[in-house]
Amino acid sequence: MKLRLAILGAALLAASTALHAQAPTKKGDSGKWKDRVEEVWAKARQACAATKGPERANCVAKHVCASAKNPAACEARHKARAAQQAQQQGKK
């Protein structure tokens, strides 16, 4: 288990380094992107405020994916992530 965590940590560190290297280089780009992401998430949270648990996660994903460049891929990632989380909770 410790070995898996160490490997996972190393993989996350490598991925975060690679993602950081791909960050926008123009000064104005990152601010616009962050504002857009915050706006989308705020609208999704507001729209799904009445739901709880897995229903809330599905609602937020639906709203966030609706504004994604590729909504089908976004929803597929959400479903895969939800299935993985359900599987992990079943093991505990």
Q: What is the pLDDT of residues 44-84, one digit of tens each?
A: 999 999 999 888 888 999 999 998 899 999 999 999 988 89
Which segments of the chain does DSSP mark as H helices, in order?
2-21, 27-47, 53-66, 71-91
> Which residue has 């093991």 as its token pair?
91
Q: Classify residue 24: in a domain, yes or no.
A: no
Does this model's pTM top 0.85? My answer is no
One-letter amino acid at 30 equals S
Do 48 and 42 contact (CB within 8 A), yes or no?
A: no
How many separate domains does the chain show? 1
Four-residue CA torsion sign, 29, 33, 34, 36 = positive
Q: Classify residue 2: in a domain, yes or no.
A: no
Domain range enclosing 89 = 32-92
Q: Classify residue 41: in a domain, yes or no.
A: yes
